[in-house]
Every structure is written in C-alpha cells, then in structure tokens.
Structure 1
Amino acid sequence: MVTTRHTAQLSAVELTEIRAFLDAAFGDFSDQDWEHGLGGQHALVREDGVLVAHGSLVMRRLLVGGRSLRTGYVEGVAVRPDRRRRGYGAEVMAALEALAPVYDVLALSASDEGIPLYEARGWRLWRGPTSVLGPSGPEPTPDDDGSIYVLGGEGLDQDAPIACDHRAGDVW
C-alpha cells in the first residue's frame, strides 16, 4: 500500500533509507538529484516493511507562451528491480497524480524505461523545444527535447517552447 508524506514529515532515518534506495536504483544518483526530490510530497510503497518503490512531487515553475505555470514536477520514481511488474510504479504515480488539482500542470523528464508507464497513465509527450531560464537568460536544452511529459494543462500548446526554472545539476 502506498503512503504519501511531505519531506518535512520524514525522519532522518527515513530520508537516509530513501536516499540509499535511490542511489541503488539509479546508480548515478547525485547529491543534486537528491536535492531536486526534496521539499514536496513523497509516495512510498513498502512490502513487509521494506521500501520497494518511491516517487516525489515538488513545486516548480514552467513557462509556456509567456505564462508561468505552477507545476507539480515528478522526481525520483523508482521500483526495486526484483519487485517490478507488480503495479508499484503505478501506485506511486497514482498517489502523486492525486495531488494534481493544486497545480496548473504535472510534468516530468522520462527515462526510456519509464515512458511505457507514463504513457499508459495518460501522460503526453511535450513536442516543443525545451530550455531553462538560466542566470543569463533563456538557454536551450536540446538534449532534453523529446523527454518531457505532462499531465493536465488542458489548452496548452504542446508544440510551443517550454522553459523550466533554473536549478543546479540536471535542470529537467
């Protein structure tokens, strides 16, 4: 069963457990990646007390067509390899998607492995070019084109350019 808790409600032991889980799941999970997933809601799935799946939803700003969108941004979605194909990823996503009403849109940067899960849940590929609002102004992020998915945001032109707020490390 999935539980949802804000970062502030997690103990130091739980945060250490989640960080170790994400380190193991991604292999190259940096301190900046960890920071990106903090400060929002975490969806946690445990099996016999052991963490088997995680995802978080943090607030970011995306800019589309001159409009600043209050965005729930999905970070750190992972399922333990030996527990995949049991619906845990879908449980995590359902818990995070349930928070959509407080945002203009939900968004994420999808790995190749995650795309089937997101598309099956109705997430749509953003077709327009991506950029980041960097310290010196907008900077194109062509390596991220074709990897951004959104849920909600009815009426947004998904062929339009989209920009994210700046942050250290991977901006998307």
Structure 2
Amino acid sequence: MPPDPAAPAAPADAEPPVELRRSEELDAADRAALRLLWDRAFSDFTDDDAAHAVHDGGGLHALVRHAGVPVAHASVVPRRLRFGAGPWREVGYVEAVAVDPDHQRRGLGRRVMLALHPAIAARWPVALLSTGKSTGFYARLGWERWGGLSFTRLADGTEVADDEHGGLMILRCDPTVVPDLRVDVTCEDRSGDAW
C-alpha cells in the first residue's frame, strides 16, 4: 500500500523503533551482527555468553538498528531457578544488554529493556539478571537488588556458593512469588558463567 500523502512525515531525528524478535527468527546475518555489537560493547564477551543470549528454546530479543545494523540489544531467556527452599521454577533471565559505544547516552538501553518488560510479565512472574556495575540503571526501571546469597547447582546435584549476589537483580511482576529478597537463590549450571 502506498504511503498516505496526508499522513505527517516522521521527523528526521525520530527515534528508531524497538524491534522484538524470537531467537528462532534471527538469521545468520542477525546473529553475526549481534556478536559484533557485543564485542564492541563488552571487553570480555565469550562464545558461551553469545549462546546464553541467543536461546533457541524461547528467547526474545529487543533490538534497535541504525542503518540496518543492531546498535542496542537486550534478550530474555527461560531459566530454572530456586528461591530459598521453594520448588525449581522457570523464570525469565535477561542477557546481553548492550549498546554500541558510538550510540550510548541516547536512552537506547532503557528502551530495549522497557520493551522486554511486557513480554516478561506475560510469561513469567519474575525475571532476574546479573550486572557487574549498572545496578542504578536497572533500579530506575523497577528492578530490585537481590539481598540473599547465590548458588549454582552442578550436574552432580551439589550446590556451590558463588560471588554473584552483589550484582543480581530481580523484576517481580508477581511479588507473592518471591516475597523475601534475602533468601538464597540457586541456578542450574551451564557452560561459561553460571549467572
């Protein structure tokens, strides 16, 4: 359909849209472009980190592109966690929140994160993420710092303490699921960083 000539033209400085894509919808070119973005945004992004971010079993990505190239990204993937002595449950886990260094300080990280919030709320009662230094950024978006200790359950069933408790944050879409943020939280091990 041709554009409506009566419709107002988008301003030249209009913000690029946030695109939501399932992991299965990302083709080889998308995945290669995302890897370049992650390598530019992080000094130590590994192949394991990339595999965690592009989860073909239910991952969802929020992207902003500039000239067709991804310049901002965040994804949420399913993970099994246990809070305190409660049952193992599937939650959303946010991965690879990145903005290209040439496009930072323009609100793109905020936009991709906020685009994921409705999808998280529709599927999971809570979501978690691990951040090294940006707790204030996430707190302004409604995420809370985790107050308890964190553990990893290994393949043999043993659980080991780790050092993620300072950077773990939770988004409680249903606060009754995790009413106390001071209990222990345990994740299942995976290749690379468990958290």
Pick which of 130-139 and 26-35 moved more.
130-139
Q: TM-score, normalised by structure 1?
A: 0.94
Q: How many residues align?
A: 171
Q: Identity of paired residues, percent?
A: 39
Query: Which ranges of structure 2 fall in alignment gaps of 5 or more residues?
Result: 1-16
Q: Are 1:118 and 2:138 matched, yes or no?
A: yes
1:107 to 128, 132, 137: 128
- Rg bigger for which structure? 2
Query: Cα offset for 1:47?
Result: 2.2
Question: Runs ≥4 in structure 1, deviation > 2 angstroms?
Answer: 47-50, 136-142
Counterparts of residues 1-172 of structure 1 (less than 5 Å)? 1-39=17-55, 40-64=59-83, 65-100=85-120, 101-112=122-133, 114-152=134-172, 153-155=174-176, 156=178, 157-172=180-195
Query: Cα offset for 1:49?
Result: 2.3
Residue type of the partner of 1:27? Answer: S
How far apart, CA to CA, are the structure 2 residues paired with 1:124 and 1:149?
A: 5
Q: Determine if contact 1:131/1:138 at 8 Å carries over to the other structure.
A: no
How far apart, CA to CA, are the structure 1 residues paired with 2:168 and 2:92?
A: 13
How far apart, CA to CA, are the structure 1 residues paired with 2:155 and 2:25?
A: 32
RMSD, matched Cα: 1.3
Query: Which ranges of structure 1 fall in alignment gaps of 5 or more residues?
Result: none
How far apart, CA to CA, are the structure 1 residues paired with 2:130 and 2:19?
A: 23
Q: Determine if contact 1:70/1:104 at 8 Å carries over to the other structure.
A: no
Give SS of 1:24's match.
helix
Q: TM-score, normalised by structure 2?
A: 0.83
Query: Cα offset for 1:17?
Result: 0.6
Query: Cα offset for 1:141?
Result: 3.1
Q: Determine if contact 2:37/2:99 at 8 Å carries over to the other structure.
A: no
Residue type of the partner of 1:107? Answer: L
Query: Cα offset for 1:82?
Result: 2.1
Query: Cα offset for 1:148?
Result: 0.6
Partner of 2:5: none
Give SS of 1:99's match.
helix
